[in-house]
């Protein structure tokens, strides 16, 4: 503790999600590390998103830490795709097993960061009044942390309860006998809706844009499958990092154009029934790059929706027709389309008649009023940038990060921002982020960042920054990779077009994880190319 109760540490980590927790573990033997966490527990995404049905759609044996072989050997995942409580339990186990809590201050979000150019130190101010000075900040703030809550007027008038899916109470909610309105039909809304429909008296699903959804295929973990993974864990972890999405799912080699219509349908039917999430998008090697190939899959998905949903008008509304499949994130459901055959579920199209306001008794659209007891906002996130721009971050020459990013994020390798020295991001804008398996790639990014910090110490440097030229060159790479895919035809959190007025281009690097990792490694090997060290 220094003067005026200012504490002095080497590294501040922001966020005790999976990457932040690993950053503490990785660095604490060499450095004095302190982590600030907004929540009262560990787990990040899997701490905040405890809405009914929250479940990962990547095989848990992959979607878990690889840094400690005893941990991955001993931990048992009961299901292929773990539900939120299991992921939170795992995060807590890791925090206890590796004594991470002693480095974490909970319920204490960082509110302000200011770089002092004279001392090359960051001043960190938190909601609870902590003031810490440190040499490096690692922002492990998550891609999907800052919630998006549309500002329809009249919220104070509504007599019922309104909550975003990230605010679900730990003790759950009793929705029996309640008239529930669920706004939003992305991955979250689609997971939550069928479970809410089973409890509520009536569920109104307010849909602006339908999403493509395929069945999850979740099931209890097969013992042989688990054993095969555990026998080869270290090799498999390495293999994962050599694949496009850092996952051992099967990547297709066949073009949709290279088969007969019958073969195509058979492959798509197998994909739909497969036990792997995302298989529909991975049915052919050109679904994500060629609109004609993509159209086959879109038509197949439409046929499935029309087969499942009995009311033809509802089925038509549920068929996505304004963007290619995979353009937005493919959603993984559990009885989502079937749910619309229930008498207590109504689909409300808020594209043709948008929501106007909250009323005393519910919601009003331009067409009609709806009486509701509970309104659930599954309206997504100010993704990738929101977690950082909502902190008051001031770099060199008093420039604020939110101002620097007002026309969209600029980063070098998704890791640093010019003018904000000694501040590193994990899963920042323009990394592969959620387009690659985030726990394993988060570990990778933490290791790479730790290497940069260790080299600073070794070489006697006190400041590392990047340049606007490096940022521009990286932006060109990010754009080129995205421009080659069907993502450009969809509005989504990937490009910020899910938020009114948010500017910028595609915010995720989708050139594949191996290429991203090579670029990062080569930059360091090439005399810290793109960085400036003093």
378 binds ligand N01 (CB under 6 A): yes
CB of 331 to ligand N01, least distance (A): 7
380 binds ligand N01 (CB under 6 A): yes
CB 378 within 8 A of CB 192: yes
Q: From CA 116, how far away is CA 132, in angstroms rounded?
A: 12
150 binds ligand N01 (CB under 6 A): yes
Among 108, 185, 276, 422, binds ligand N01 (CB under 6 A): 185
Q: From CA 49, how far away is CA 34, in angstroms rounded?
A: 24
Among 84, 209, 431, 449, binds ligand N01 (CB under 6 A): 209
Q: Within positions 352 to 371, which residues make up the interface with ligand N01, using CB under 6 A?
A: 355
> How many residues would you count in the chain?
534
CB of 441 to ligand N01, least distance (A): 14
User: Six-digit token pair at 455?
Assistant: 């080299």
CB of 409 to ligand N01, least distance (A): 17
SS3 225: helix
502 binds ligand N01 (CB under 6 A): no
Phi and psi torsions of 319, nearest 5°? -80, 115
CB 199 within 8 A of CB 176: yes
Question: In this complex, which beta carbon is closest to ligand N01, that of residue 185 or of residue 294?
Answer: 185
Interface with ligand N01 by CB under 6 A: which range of 96-104, 171-179, 182-190, 469-477?
182-190
Nearest to 81 by CA among 400, 334, 261: 334
449 binds ligand N01 (CB under 6 A): no
Q: Within positions 294 to 333, which residues make up the interface with ligand N01, using CB under 6 A?
A: 329, 332
Among 208, 306, 364, 528, binds ligand N01 (CB under 6 A): 208
Interface with ligand N01 by CB under 6 A: which range of 55-63, 89-97, 127-135, 217-225?
55-63
Report the number of secondary-structure helices (H) and strands (E) in the chain: 16, 20
SS3 237: helix
Q: From CA 236, how far away is CA 247, in angstroms rounded?
A: 9
Among 91, 134, 144, 297, binds ligand N01 (CB under 6 A): 144
Q: Within positions 400 to 439, which residues make up the interface with ligand N01, using CB under 6 A?
A: 434
How far CA 107 is from CA of 228, 250, 352, 374, 430, in Å, comes to 40, 41, 41, 27, 29
Interface with ligand N01 by CB under 6 A: which range of 235-243, 376-384, 439-447, 472-480?
376-384
CB within 8 Å of 76: residues ≥ 6 apart: 221, 226
Question: In this complex, which beta carbon is closest to ligand N01, that of residue 45 or of residue 449?
Answer: 45
DSSP per position, 432-496: -GGGS-HHHHHHHHHHHHHHHHHHHHHTT---EEE-HHHHHHHHHHHHHHHHTSGGGGS-STTTT
Interface with ligand N01 by CB under 6 A: which range of 14-22, 373-381, 387-395, 466-474?
373-381
CB of 501 to ligand N01, least distance (A): 12
376 binds ligand N01 (CB under 6 A): no
Residue 425: beta bridge partners? 139
Q: Within positions 64 to 123, which residues make up the interface with ligand N01, using CB under 6 A?
A: none
Interface with ligand N01 by CB under 6 A: which range of 114-122, 248-256, 372-380, 523-531?
372-380
Residue 460: beta bridge partners? none
Q: From CA 318, how far away is CA 211, in angstroms rounded?
A: 8
CB of 97 to ligand N01, least distance (A): 24
Q: Which residue's CB comes closest to ligand N01?
A: 186
Question: In this complex, which beta carbon is closest to ligand N01, that of residue 112 or of residue 497?
Answer: 497
CB 261 within 8 A of CB 275: no
DSSP per position, 23-90: HHHHHTTTS-EEEE-SSSSS-THHHH--STT-B-SS-TTTSS--S-HHHHHH---SBSS-BHHHHHHH
493 binds ligand N01 (CB under 6 A): yes
Among 64, 213, 276, 379, binds ligand N01 (CB under 6 A): 379
Among 37, 57, 465, 471, binds ligand N01 (CB under 6 A): 57
Which residue ranges make up the site for ligand N01 (CB under 6 A)?
Answer: 55-57, 144, 150, 183-189, 191, 208-209, 329, 332, 350, 355, 378-381, 434, 493, 498
């Amino acid at each position: 503790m220094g003067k005026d109760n200012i504490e002095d540490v080497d590294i501040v980590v922001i966020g005790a999600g999976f990457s932040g927790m690993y950053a503490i573990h990785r660095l604490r033997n060499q450095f004095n590390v302190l982590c600030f966490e907004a929540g009262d527990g560990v787990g990040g995404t899997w701490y905040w998103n405890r809405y009914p049905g929250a479940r990962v759609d990547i095989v848990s044996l992959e979607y878990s830490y690889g840094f400690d072989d005893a941990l991955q050997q001993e931990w048992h995942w009961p299901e292929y795709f773990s539900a939120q409580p299991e992921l939170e339990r795992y995060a807590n186990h890791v925090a206890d097993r590796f004594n991470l809590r002693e480095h974490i201050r909970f319920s204490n979000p960082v509110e302000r960061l200011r770089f002092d150019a004279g001392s090359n130190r960051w001043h960190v101010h938190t909601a609870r009044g902590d003031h810490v000075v440190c040499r490096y900040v690692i922002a492990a703030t998550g891609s999907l942390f800052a919630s998006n809550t549309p500002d329809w007027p009249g919220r104070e008038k509504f007599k019922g309860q309104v909550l975003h899916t990230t605010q679900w109470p730990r003790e759950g909610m009793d929705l029996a006998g309640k008239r529930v309105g669920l706004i939003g039909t992305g991955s979250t809304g689609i997971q939550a809706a069928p479970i809410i429909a089973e409890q509520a008296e009536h569920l109104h699903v307010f849909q602006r844009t339908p999403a493509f959804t395929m069945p999850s295929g979740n099931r209890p973990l097969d013992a042989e499958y688990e054993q095969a993974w555990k026998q080869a864990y270290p090799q498999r972890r390495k293999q994962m990092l050599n694949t496009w999405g850092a996952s051992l799912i099967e990547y297709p080699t066949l073009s949709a154009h290279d088969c007969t219509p019958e073969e195509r349908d058979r492959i798509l039917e197998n994909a739909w029934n497969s036990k792997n999430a995302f298989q529909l998008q991975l049915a052919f090697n050109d679904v994500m790059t060629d609109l004609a190939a993509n159209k086959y899959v879109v038509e197949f998905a439409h046929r499935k929706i029309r087969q499942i949903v009995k009311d033809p008008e509802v089925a038509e509304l549920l068929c996505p027709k304004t963007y290619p499949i995979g353009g937005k994130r493919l959603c993984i459901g559990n009885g989502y389309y079937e749910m619309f055959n229930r008498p207590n579920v109504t689909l409300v199209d808020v594209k043709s008649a948008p929501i106007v306001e909250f009323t005393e008794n519910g919601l009003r659209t331009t067409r009609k009023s709806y009486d509701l007891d509970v309104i659930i906002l599954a309206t997504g996130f100010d993704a990738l940038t929101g977690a950082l721009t909502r902190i008051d971050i001031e770099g060199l020459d008093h420039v604020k990060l939110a101002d620097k990013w007002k026309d969209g994020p600029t980063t070098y390798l998704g890791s640093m921002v010019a003018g904000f020295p000694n501040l590193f991001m994990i899963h920042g804008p323009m990394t592969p982020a959620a387009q690659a398996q985030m726990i394993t790639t988060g570990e990778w990014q933490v290791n790479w960042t730790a290497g940069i910090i260790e080299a600073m110490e070794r070489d006697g440097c006190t400041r590392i920054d990047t340049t606007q030229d490096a940022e521009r060159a990286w932006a060109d790479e990010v754009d080129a990779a995205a421009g080659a895919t069907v993502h450009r035809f969809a509005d989504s959190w990937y490009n910020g077009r899910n938020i009114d007025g948010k500017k910028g281009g595609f915010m995720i690097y989708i050139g594949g994880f191996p290429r991203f990792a090579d670029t990062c490694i080569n930059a360091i090997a090439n005399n810290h190319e793109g960085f400036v060290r003093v």
